[in-house]
């Protein structure tokens, strides 16, 4: 075999020749790539800029005058208004109601992720809308605050916001604060599709001793019809165990009836097998029909008896389907397990404590299976108070001093649930006595009182 000799090469197979060959190949294939790197990484030039002019004393028109290649524009108009857009030709007319200097910025983002900014100062010399209001505790009622809108200028509408309440277009309004402490009041003014806000804090020196007496009846079911009023209640059905390994099958009304002005929910035995479906019962809810946020709930009821029975009168957060449990919050006004006679339980379930770790207490009610008793809940933005018969006969109080989403999901609406379960993790903890059936939960009324 003959070898052709190239300049600078030695006989193939030698170490020097192999190194030379490697260097030559690298120069052929890699150098063009490296020589083009700087060129490819050079981003197209772009420069942010905008112009502005007064449309009138309090409206400024902004126009994008940026140059070069870029993808998006982020505007900050210096008055809590902002916008992000990919439309280069979009212009804005921004309202500045109060005289002063405002720093307006525009940020551009190009296709490689590079950003550039520019900011300019605009000067507004005219005050067109100045928000102000007074908040004075009434001398003859330390739990009411007179709010007066003293704002200057023109607006389309306004509202007072306090204690999760909204009151529209009342220049002078007496706001009610039943509990002591510092409370925030917001005046929200709308003009030209823009919203402007002013907040103040007011101090209330004492709780209102007449709070409960001043509540009025907002809704009730006295069960005085011929059958369960389905404008008020929905039957939830099935034998899924309901998250507690319960054994009853909830029916669509077969286990609930009205007898002499009393709702009667009956738990019946189907067979002796003590398995899911061996019993039938009812579970009724006001979900989607009547929901409440804060108030005084009362349920007058007589409880069933016997080992394995588990009735409950309770409320569940209306956002259950979206937030899930226990994030929606659960307020058990009354729970009863038949193997522990005459002991009534009230419990709160939140992400901070749920299931066996729920926050609750119990009380002895000697005649709960033989007589009707009122099971109540006083629900305010500060606390939950569960009681039996009278508000001073407290079962449990729940009032975390610092409220968070984890321990206080009770700042949203909730609905009523009444049911009789059979067996389950708690109700069936000591088995089921099949000789006790049928068993009935009897409810005279459900009432909800709220602030007028």
Residue 204 DSSP SS3: strand
Mean pLDDT of the 229-253 span: 96
Look at 398 and 33; give whichever has higher pLDDT: 398
Average pLDDT over residues 243-265: 97
Lowest model confidence (mean pLDDT) among 34-43, 239-248, 441-450: 34-43
The residue annotated as part of the active site, out of 53, 335, 366, 369, is 335
Q: Scanning the structure block, which residue is given the tokens 């379930």? A: 349
Please tell me the predicted confidence (pLDDT) of residue 43.
63
Burial of 400 (0-12, 13-18, 19+ CB in 10 A): middle
Q: Which of 118-122, 188-192, 217-221 has the lowest mean pLDDT?
A: 188-192
For residues 158 and 190, what is the distance between their CA atoms, to the nearest angstrom?
6
Q: Report in angstroms the alpha-carbon separations of 341 from 145, 345, 383, 435, 436.
A: 48, 11, 29, 17, 14
Q: Which of 114, 330, 369, 371 is catalytic?
A: 330
Q: What is the pLDDT of residue 42?
A: 59
Instruction: Count CB neighbours of 199 within 10 A.
Output: 13
* CATH code given to domain 129-208: 2.60.40.10
Tell me: the pLDDT tens digits for 150-198? 999 989 999 999 998 999 999 999 999 999 999 999 999 999 888 999 9
pLDDT at position 5 over 90:
no
Does residue 38 register a pLDDT over 50? Answer: no
When pLDDT is averaged across residues 252-258 and rounded to a whole number, the result is 97
Q: So what's the pLDDT on residue 25? A: 46
Query: Is a pLDDT exceeding 70 seen at residue 200?
Result: yes
Q: What values do phi and psi take at 108, rounded to 5? A: -110, 145
So where are the chain's domains?
A: 48-124, 129-208, 212-450
Q: Do domains 48-124 and 129-208 have the same CATH topology?
A: yes
Q: Are 432 and 270 in contact (CB under 8 A)?
A: no
pLDDT band at 27, cuts 50/70/90? very low
DSSP annotation string for 225-269: SSS--TTT-EE--B-S-TTTTB-EEE-SSTTEEEETTEEEEEEEE
Q: Contact, 393 vs 334, CB < 8 A?
A: no
pLDDT in tens, 345-392: 999 999 999 999 999 999 999 999 999 999 999 999 999 999 999 999
* CATH number attached to the domain at 212-450: 2.60.120.200
On the question of pLDDT at 342 being above 50, the answer is: yes
Residue 186 a catalytic site member: no
Catalytic site residue 136? no
The domain 48-124 is placed in CATH, from the list 3.30.980.10, 3.40.50.300, 2.40.40.20, 2.60.40.10, at 2.60.40.10
Closest of 156, 202, 159, 155 to residue 183, by C-alpha:
202
pLDDT at 39: 41
Of 206 and 26, the structure prediction assigns the larger pLDDT to 206
pLDDT at 293 over 50: yes
Q: Is the pLDDT of residue 310 over 50?
A: yes
Tell me the average pLDDT across 15-28. Answer: 45
Give dist(CA 207, CA 43) in Å, integer: 66
């Amino acid at each position: 075999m003959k070898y052709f000799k190239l300049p600078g090469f030695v006989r193939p197979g030698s170490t020097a020749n192999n190194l030379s060959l490697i260097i030559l190949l690298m120069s052929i294939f890699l150098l063009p790539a490296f020589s083009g790197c700087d060129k490819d990484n050079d981003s197209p030039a772009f420069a942010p800029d905008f112009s502005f002019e007064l449309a009138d004393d309090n409206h400024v028109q902004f126009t994008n005058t940026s140059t070069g290649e870029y993808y998006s524009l982020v505007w900050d108009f210096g008055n809590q208004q902002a916008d992000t857009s990919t439309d280069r030709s979009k212009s804005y007319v921004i309202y500045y109601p109060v005289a002063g200097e405002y720093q307006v910025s525009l940020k551009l983002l190009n296709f490689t992720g590079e950003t550039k900014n520019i900011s300019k100062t605009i000067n507004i010399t005219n005050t067109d809308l100045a928000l102000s209001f007074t908040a004075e505790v009434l001398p003859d009622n330390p739990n009411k605050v007179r709010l007066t809108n003293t704002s200057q200028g023109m607006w389309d509408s306004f509202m007072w916001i306090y204690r999760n309440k909204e009151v529209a277009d009342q220049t002078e309004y007496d706001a009610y604060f039943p509990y002591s402490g510092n409370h925030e009041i917001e005046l929200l003014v709308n003009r030209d599709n823009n919203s402007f806000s002013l907040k103040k804090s007011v101090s209330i020196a004492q709780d209102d001793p007449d709070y409960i007496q001043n509540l009025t009846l907002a809704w009730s079911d006295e069960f005085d019809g011929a059958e369960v009023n389905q404008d008020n209640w929905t039957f939830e059905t099935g034998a899924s165990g309901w998250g507690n390994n319960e054994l009853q099958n909830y029916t669509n009304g077969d286990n609930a009836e009205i007898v002499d002005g009393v709702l009667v929910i009956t738990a019946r035995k189907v067979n002796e097998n003590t398995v899911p479906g061996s019993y039938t019962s009812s579970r009724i809810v006001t979900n989607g029909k009547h929901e409440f946020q804060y108030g005084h709930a009362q349920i007058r009821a007589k409880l069933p008896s016997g080992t394995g029975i588990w009735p409950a009168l309770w409320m569940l957060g209306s956002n259950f389907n979206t937030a899930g449990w226990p994030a929606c919050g659960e307020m058990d006004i009354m729970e009863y397990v038949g193997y522990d006679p005459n002991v009534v339980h009230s419990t709160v379930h939140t992400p901070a404590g749920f299931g066996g770790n729920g926050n609750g207490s119990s009380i002895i009610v000697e005649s709960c299976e033989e007589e009707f008793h009122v099971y109540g809940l006083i629900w305010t933005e500060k606390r939950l108070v569960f009681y039996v018969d009278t508000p001073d006969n407290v079962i449990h109080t729940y009032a975390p001093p610092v409220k968070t989403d984890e321990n206080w999901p009770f700042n949203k609406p909730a609905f009523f649930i009444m049911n009789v379960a059979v067996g389950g993790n708690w109700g069936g903890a000591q088995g089921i006595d099949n000789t006790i059936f049928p068993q009935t939960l009897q409810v005279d009324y459900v009432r909800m009182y709220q602030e007028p």
